[in-house]
Amino acid sequence: MVEATVALVVVLALLLLSSAPIAVALGLTSLIYIYYFTLMPMTQVPERLFNALNSFPLMAIPFFIVAANVMSTGGISRRLTEFGASLVGHMKGGLGATAVLACMFFAAVSGSSPATVVAVGGLIIPAMIKNGYPREFSTGIVATSGSLGILIPPSIPLIVYGISTEQNIGDLFLAGVLPGVFAGLLLLAVVVFMAWKRGYGRTGPAVKASPKAQLKTFRDAILALLLPVIVLGGIYTGLFTPTEASAVAVGYSVLVSLIVYRELKFKDLFSIAVKSARTSAMIMFIIANGILFTFVLTIERIPANISDAIASWNLEAWQFLILVNILLLIVGCVMETSSAILILAPILLPIAMSVGVDPIHFGIIVVMNLEIGMITPPLGLNLFVASGMSGLSVLRVAKAALPTALVLLVALMIVTFVPFLSTAFLG
C-alpha cells in the first residue's frame, strides 16, 4: 500500500538525518512497519534476526576479522611492508609505491579495509614523513590504498554480497583478483608519478636494496604471502569451503605469528579476541537488521516495483551500468558498505541479469563503487581511521585522498565495461 511505503521511506530518512547508526535506523524502521502495517506477531522479530545470522557462510566474517587482527599484531604487516620497500623503496616516490604494495599485500590476507589502513599506515606514514613526503600526501595514499582491502580477496563485502544475492562466494573471491590487482597497479603508477612530479621523497641518493637484502625480506614475508594462496587454493581445489578457509586463515596466522615470528604472545590473544568480537558484533548487527529491512522491502514489493520501473525504460546494459555506478557512488558516501549491499544488491541484481550483466561481474562493480565510498565524506570510514592515525582533520585527509580516489574511479569505469577482468578466472 502507498501509505506503508511512504511511512517506510520517511521514517528511515528521519532516522538517518538524526545521525542514528545505520543498523539502528534499519531495525527501528522495520519494527515500526511490522507493528503498524502487518499482522506479524512482534515475537517473530527476534526469531527473524537470529535466523538472519544463522548462516554458515556468515561465519567467515568473524574468522577473517580475527585473522586480520592477529596479522596486525603479530608482525606480518611489518614484514609485508619491508618486502614492498625492498622492491621499490629505492625509486623516486618509492615509499609511496611501498605504501600501495603493502596495502595490496595486506588486503590479500585480511579482507578488511580499515584493518589494512591501520596495519600499514602505522608503519608507513611516519616513514614517509621522515623521508620528505608531506603528511597530507602520505595519509591520503594510505587511506585510498587501504580501500583495496574490500576488493582483493578474501573480502568481507564480497561475502555479504554472496549471501544477500545467493552467489558463489568462491567465484566472487576469484573474480576480485584481477580487478583488485589492476586497481592497485594503476594506483601505484599514479602515486610514483605524483611523487616524481612534485619532488617528494628522498633528498639524498637512494640506495637500491641488494638482491641479498631483497631475498631476506622475501623470506621473512613468504609465510604471510602464502596465506592468500592457501585460502584461494584450498577453496578451488575443494579442500575447504570459504568459511572453512577463514578458520584456516586464523589458525595459520596464529601459528606463524606465535611460533615462527614469535612477535605474538599468548597474552595478546585475549585482547585480539575482545577487539575482534566487538568488530564482528557491529558487522553482524548491521547484517541482521539489513536482512530484516530487506524482508520488509519484499513485503511491500519495493524491489519488484523498482525492477519493473527500470525495465520499462528499456535500458541497454551500458546505460544501466552507468546509472548503477552513479547511484552506488552516491550511496557509498552516506551508507556503510555492508548495509548498502544488503539493501541494494537484491534489488539491482535481477535488473542487471535481465540486461545481460553477469552476476559475479556485477558483484565486483558493486564492491568497487563502495570501495570508493570508503574514502569519500561524510561517511568514508577510511578517512576517519587515517585521520586518527595522522592527526589531520577528516576534511584534510579527504582532500589529500581526492587525486588517488579519481584513480580508483578510472579503474571502476574500466572494470565496469571490460567484464573479462572479473570473469577471466571463472570456468
**CB hemisphere CA count around 172 (13 angstroms):** 29
Compute the C-alpha angle 120/122/126, nearest 5°.
Answer: 110
Burial of 3-15, coded b for 16+ CB within 10 Å and e otherwise, reads ebbebbeebbeeb
Q: Check if the beta carbon of residue 287 is closer than 8 Å to that of residue 65.
A: no
The pLDDT mean for the chain works out to 85
- pLDDT at residue 1 tops 70: no
User: Distances from the Cα of 393 to the Cαs of 319, 376, 381, 382, 385, in angstroms?
Assistant: 38, 14, 13, 12, 11
Q: For the segment 267-281, what is each residue's pLDDT rounded down to a tens digit?
A: 899 999 998 898 888
Helices 317-334, 337-354: crossing angle, 10 deg rounding: 170
The most distant pair of C-alpha atoms in the chain lies apart, rounded to whole Å, by 75
pLDDT attached to residue 101? 85
pLDDT attached to residue 204? 45
Between 389 and 353, residue with greater pLDDT: 353
**For residues 220 and 78, what is the distance between their CA atoms, to the nearest angstrom?**
10
DSSP-derived letter for residue 152 is S
- pLDDT at residue 160 tops 70: yes
Residue 281 has which C-alpha cell?
558484533
Q: Which residues contact 302 (CB under 8 A, 6 or more apart)?
A: 5, 8, 347
pLDDT attached to residue 427? 64
Q: For the segment 181-226, what is each residue's pLDDT rounded down to a tens digit?
A: 999 999 999 998 998 888 886 544 455 667 777 888 888 888 878 8
pLDDT attached to residue 153? 84
- pLDDT at residue 173 tops 80: yes
DSSP, residue by residue, 56-119: TGGGHHHHHHHHHHHHHHTTHHHHHHHHHHHHHTTSTTHHHHHHHHHHHHHHHHH--HHHHHHH
Distant-in-sequence contacts of 100-104, Cβ < 8 A, 24+ apart: 100/141, 100/145, 100/184, 100/187, 100/188, 100/191, 101/184, 101/188, 102/77, 103/142, 103/145, 103/146, 103/148, 103/149, 103/184, 104/145, 104/148, 104/152, 104/180, 104/181, 104/184
pLDDT attached to residue 208? 64
User: Of 18, 49, 119, whose CA–CA distance to 389 is shortest?
Assistant: 119
- pLDDT at residue 411 tops 50: yes
pLDDT attached to residue 270? 93
**For residues 105 and 94, what is the distance between their CA atoms, to the nearest angstrom?**
16
pLDDT attached to residue 98? 84
Amino acid letter at 70?
Answer: V
**For residues 337 and 350, what is the distance between their CA atoms, to the nearest angstrom?**
20
- 357-366 average pLDDT score: 96
User: Of 110, 180, 197, whose CA–CA distance to 145 is shortest?
Assistant: 180
pLDDT attached to residue 186? 94
Helix residue spans in 312-358 (DSSP H): 317-334, 337-354
What counts of helices (H) and strands (E) characterise the chain?
21, 0
- pLDDT at residue 394 tops 90: no
pLDDT attached to residue 301? 78
User: Of 153, 168, 175, 162, whose CA–CA distance to 424 is shortest?
Assistant: 175
- pLDDT-derived band at 137, boundaries 50, 70, 90: very high
Q: Residue by residue, what is the 3-state secondary structure of 286-307? A: HHHHHHHHHHHHHHCCHHHHHH
- pLDDT at residue 358 tops 90: yes
